[in-house]
A and B are shown apart, each in its own frame.
Chain A
Amino acid sequence: MSADDLVPPSSVVLVSGGSRGLGLEIVGDLLGRGVAVAAFARTVTPELDALARKHTGRALVGPVDVTDREAVASFVRTVERELGVVDGLVNNAAVGQDSLHVHTSPDRVASIVTTNLTAPLLLTRLVVRRLLAAGRRGRIVNVTSICAQRGFPGLVTYAATKGAMEAATRALARELRDRVLVNCVAPGFFASEMSAVLGSTQLDQIVRRTPTGHLTEPDEVAPLVRMLLLEHTNVQGQVLTTDGGASI
């Protein structure tokens, strides 16, 4: 098989939810490898802004709500103009949940589904349409969660969205075949604004059940995302779990 037959490493990567937590880590990691990176979140944090300034010409950041279709489409057009066609997408933006299903309002259920499932499906559709129209190949990494595979109380709708993204990943991989590699990275719980709602007793419990004895850190997840975006591995339609073995 010649290199021309393989999906090339991504050269322009779009990261949703790149302002903090895992998204920020992924943006920093990819910029550090010489990749051009565009990132958005509803609010651009000073940390993300600083990264963009450090890598002027190769980084583009902006305040965009992933559920706002117009704003997302306009940002993608700007990225194309300034950095080139997006050939790598990391669907990372998501909102968490910590409420029993019976006590979660219908509006909250709908809004979690909109942000964590509808929005990444539409962003993926947009990016793949641009890629195919340009006759290019690309790679997509969906950040899901261990919650897609294992049951945790208080996370019913969140888990449903992450499980749906894993299912969509497999279907997309079949559709897009050798043109776009589509995979998931499923982290276990890690410390971030999203998991701050977990009580210390719950976190201790998770650590006790984790063979490696520690919660996954964002800088342990970023290398997996990078590998799926930049290396030749022939991995397609898969979920890579990084949870210290807690789920085995």
Chain B
Amino acid sequence: MATLDRSRIRDLMGEVLAARGGTLPADESTELRSLGFRSLDFSELALRVEDETGTELNFDAPGLRRIATVGDVLDFLQDLQAA
């Protein structure tokens, strides 16, 4: 199964934010709230990752609720691909 590495997921996250007029900071501890990155932005990112890998990434919401920072998003999507 094809997987995306952290830096590619980061690029895609940057694209999602740019489409909202934002920019992705280098600091992975940046809070998502301060970037205006909301749950549907996360869905959009996950679906973009799916598009590139050709594999569906389904997951429950409780895991999502623990995501607070840029680093959490990257970790979550990396872990999900590895699962």
Contacts and interface: CB of A to CB of B under 8 A. Distances in A.
A197 B60 contact: yes
A167 interface: no
Contacts of B43: 100, 102-103
Contact of A98 (B39, B47, B60): B60
A98 B62 CA distance: 7
Interface in B41-69: 43, 46-47, 56-62, 65
Contacts of A105: 56, 58
A34 interface: no
Interface residues of A, number: 13
A99 B56 contact: no
A53 B80 CA distance: 46
A105 B55 CA distance: 12
A111 to B, nearest CB: 13
Given A103-B43, A103-B46, A98 B61 contact: yes
A199 interface: yes
A43 interface: no
Interface of B: 39, 43, 46-47, 56-62, 65
Given A100-B61, A102-B43, 16 more contacts: A98-B61, A98-B62, A99-B60, A99-B61, A100-B39, A100-B43, A102-B47, A103-B59, A104-B58, A105-B56, A108-B58, A153-B61, A154-B61, A197-B60, A197-B61, A201-B65
